[in-house]
């Protein structure tokens, strides 16, 4: 007999979702749990669903834990086993009163696809002169580390050589900074790179770029993200105070149009004109 039990934080025997004493139903579960390979990797989490296998007298035989719609963990294997068809087991669970793992898998898949689209957009906005360094930048999101001074120095030097005119360089960086997730917090680590390159630019060049006739919504979006982010400039308040009021209003308008509540709150804080004392 096999009992499917939610795994995270539950003791054995907590909430029994399915009693599989019928041979035909147990055969369906066996097919759904067919394993393709055991590569040796081990997931760090507790898993989503625990299957407890019992004998006819109710004595515990073994436990198998289902992870992320992809792998199974069993003490008899050296690592987690990759399922031949993880969706089959997810749908089996849904049919037996446990729709949560399938819904979570579909949500995770949606987020992975969204992250892939955002990464592709960010790469597309990257200046051509930096493209061969994209792997080193994307690696930052895997390691969680900040870009090294050497990498930043090389990016900065290449960009200045490729786009020597400061206003054009600012516009290029605005567009790149606005690409990807567009968030001011909780974004992939690699998206900090254009922010750090803009941080090196004097505020007069930032303002000149935003006032240039070539500046469009995509440039304002990147400028907002840079200017109102967390400590994106060494003298953030001073720099924002230097921005002319009409330009601040245009940036605030762009932030409000983004639909990003965090960005809207930051922009309201940093860009709303302060009433003058009479």
SS3 readout for 105-149: HHHHHHHHHHHHHHHHHHHHHCCHHHHHHHHHHHHHHHHCCCCCH
Rounded (10°) CA dihedral 170, 172, 175, 179? -120
Pairing status of strand 60-67 against strand 49-54: antiparallel
227-271 pLDDT, tens per residue? Answer: 999 989 999 999 999 999 999 999 999 999 999 999 999 999 999
**Those residues with Cβ within 8 angstroms of residue 140's Cβ, 6 or more apart along the chain or in another chain:** 146, 147, 189, 190, 192, 193
User: Whole-prediction pTM value?
Assistant: 0.77
Cα separation, 277 vs 272, in Å, equals 15
Residue 3's closest CA among 55, 46, 47? 55
Cα separation, 166 vs 210, in Å, equals 12
Over its C-alpha atoms, the chain yields an Rg (Å, rounded) of 26
Cα separation, 79 vs 170, in Å, equals 49
131-178 pLDDT, tens per residue? Answer: 999 999 999 998 988 999 999 999 999 999 999 999 999 999 999 999
Residue 66's closest CA among 8, 10, 1? 8
Q: Are 178 and 221 in contact (CB under 8 A)?
A: yes
pLDDT band, residue 51 (cuts 50/70/90): confident
Of 2-11, 52-61, 69-78, give the lowest mean pLDDT range.
2-11
**Those residues with Cβ within 8 angstroms of residue 105's Cβ, 6 or more apart along the chain or in another chain:** 68, 69, 86, 87, 90
């Amino acid at each position: 007999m096999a009992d499917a039990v939610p795994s995270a934080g539950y003791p054995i025997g907590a909430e029994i979702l399915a009693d599989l004493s019928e041979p035909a139903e147990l055969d369906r579960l066996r097919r759904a749990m067919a394993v393709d390979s055991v590569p040796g990797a081990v997931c760090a989490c507790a898993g989503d669903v625990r299957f407890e296998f019992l004998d006819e007298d109710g004595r515990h035989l073994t436990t198998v834990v289902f992870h992320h719609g992809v792998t199974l963990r069993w003490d008899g294997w050296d690592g987690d086993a990759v399922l031949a068809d993880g969706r089959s087991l997810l749908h089996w669970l849904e049919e037996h009163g446990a729709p949560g793992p399938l819904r979570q898998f579909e949500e995770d898949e949606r987020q992975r696809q969204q992250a892939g689209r955002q990464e592709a957009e960010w790469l597309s906005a990257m200046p051509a002169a930096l493209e061969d360094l994209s792997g080193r930048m994307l690696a930052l999101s895997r390691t969680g580390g900040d870009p090294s001074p050497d990498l930043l120095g090389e990016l900065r030097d290449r960009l200045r050589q490729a786009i020597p005119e400061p206003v054009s360089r600012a516009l290029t960086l605005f567009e790149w900074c606005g690409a990807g997730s567009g968030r001011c917090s909780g974004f992939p680590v690699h998206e900090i790179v254009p922010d750090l390159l803009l941080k090196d630019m004097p505020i007069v060049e930032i303002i000149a770029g935003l006032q240039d006739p070539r500046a469009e919504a995509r440039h304002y979006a990147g400028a907002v993200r840079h200017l109102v982010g967390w400590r994106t400039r060494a003298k953030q308040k001073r720099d924002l105070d230097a921005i002319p009021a009409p330009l601040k209003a245009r940036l605030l308008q762009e932030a409000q149009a983004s639909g990003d509540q965090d960005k809207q709150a930051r922009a309201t804080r940093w860009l709303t004109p302060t009433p003058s004392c009479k």
